Amino acid sequence: FTYILSAPAQNAQLRVYALSGRLIDQVEAGAGLGYNQVAWSPPTALAGGTYLYRLEVNLTDGPRIEVDGRLQVVP
């Protein structure tokens, strides 16, 4: 996962969910100004298919930002 922050942030968190809404994995992500990258490896027992993710970023001088998306896992 890659993303760009245009404002300073306190922390960021990446969560991956099954389509049913069950939390699959949670990773503390980088919160540096500019380009950020999060390495994520699916758990070994995770079936191939479509999953949802949410990136939450707590800005230093501002609100919490949430971005949702879909990803495809291919075993």
Tens digit of each residue's pLDDT (9 = 90 or more) over 23-73 = 999 999 989 999 999 999 998 889 999 999 999 999 998 899 999 999 999
What per-residue confidence (pLDDT) applies to 30? 87
CA distances for 58 relative to 29, 31, 33, 41, 73, angstroms:
11, 9, 12, 24, 27
pLDDT for 75: 79
Q: Are 68 and 53 in contact (CB under 8 A)?
A: yes
| More confident call, 30 vs 16 | 16
- The per-residue pLDDT for 60 is 92
Question: What's the CA gap between 31 and 71, in Å, rounded?
Answer: 21
Q: What dihedral angle (degrees, nearest 10) is formed by the CA atoms of 6, 57, 65, 8?
A: -30
Token pair for residue 38? 């999060």
> What's the pLDDT at 73?
94
